[in-house]
Amino acid sequence: MKICTGMLIATAALALWGAHGVSGSTLQWNYALGSSSVVAAVVADGSGGAVVCYAIAVSNAAYVTYLDKHGAPVWHKTYANTIKVTSKQVTKKQVIITLTPPNGWETVREITLKTGADTQLMGEAGAAFSTDKDVVAANKDSKGFFVVRTQVGSAPVYIYRFSYK
């Protein structure tokens, strides 16, 4: 049986929600990604928003979307000829992402949260970079958590934000 990483994340998040659900967790917002989206990371910004890194299998591109505390997109980035994008680091001002093209030569980029300005920090032929890959992505903050909902078929993938209250 094939196990989908997104399903594992959703299962873990639902277990976390279940632990807090008895005390009254509340859905705050949700955001739909395209169908066939494969979510690599949902990283909380500490203010109720999140940076979502994902790819769509048929597009040969990867995407980064910043959602504010209401679930509204602040900006959206498309990286063509990229099979994977991930992030483990978000501050109040920036997000650090790693892009992986089909040849495997990674690029590290910094995106300003407020404006979406994008700057390449590192990248060279044959290189692979570590951007804190050993640290579990922060899919929660002090006020709530995120759940990735995937479904077999052509249904959209959803990002859900729950508060602990």
Residue-wise pLDDT for 110-153, tens only, equals 899 999 999 887 776 655 554 443 333 456 677 777 777 666 56
Percent of the chain at pLDDT above 70?
68
Per DSSP, helices labelled H in 22-129 are none
Query: Tell me, what's the pLDDT at 136?
Result: 38
Q: Are 2 and 43 in contact (CB under 8 A)?
A: no
Average pLDDT over residues 77-97: 86
How much of the chain is helix, strand and coil, in % rounded to 5?
Answer: 10, 50, 40
Pick the residue with more confidence: 66 or 84? 66
73, 14, 65, 19: which is closest to 42 by C-alpha?
Answer: 65
Q: Which helix (H) or strand (E) holds 123?
A: strand 118-123
Q: Note down the domain range covering 149.
A: 5-163
Q: Are 45 and 67 in contact (CB under 8 A)?
A: no
Average pLDDT over residues 52-69: 90
32 has pLDDT over 90: yes
78 has pLDDT over 90: yes
Beta-bridge partner residues of 73: 67
**pLDDT confidence band for 65 (50 / 70 / 90):** very high
Query: Tell me, what's the pLDDT at 110?
Result: 86
Number of domains in the chain: 1
For the chain, the average pLDDT equals: 76
